[in-house]
Amino acid sequence: MGSCCSLLTLMLMNDQNRFNEDLIDADPNGEPGLAYLLCGPICLDTYFFEERIKNKVWNDDDQTAYNFLLNYCSFKKKQAIRLYEERNNEMKSLVHGITGLFVRDYKSFSFKNAN
């Protein structure tokens, strides 16, 4: 398994009716939905499904999770490349300092109907 977001996505697949509203491409204000939040890390963690590292870094479950999320968003390779370039930008890493390095993989999401 290449990404913990793949594990979460596979769990969502089993109960997708409960999360359909959150998985949508974007809300009425244009804010990305949960599918975008999950696609980014999956693509980064699997190096956008680089075949030479299949079954070493990622596996079919990661691909299944990504394909499921594509039903809700249009996350493409060019977006994954941009994320990869940003993550590996040494100058930006220096600006953010040690704290920035620790939190750069932090993910956050709020469900619309959360209490």
| Inside any domain, residue 61 | yes
In a domain, 97, yes or no: yes
Segment 56-109, tens digit of pLDDT: 999 999 999 999 998 888 888 788 777 777 777 677 666 666 666 666 666 666
Number of domains in the chain: 1
Q: How many CB atoms lie within 10 A of CB 2?
A: 25
Q: What domain range includes position 55?
A: 4-103
The pTM assigned to this predicted structure is 0.72
| Residue 112 belongs to some domain of the structure | no
Q: In angstroms, rounded to a whole number, what is the distance separating the alpha carbons of residues 37 and 115?
A: 21
Give the relative orientation of helices 60-69 and 4-14 as an angle to the nearest 10 degrees: 60
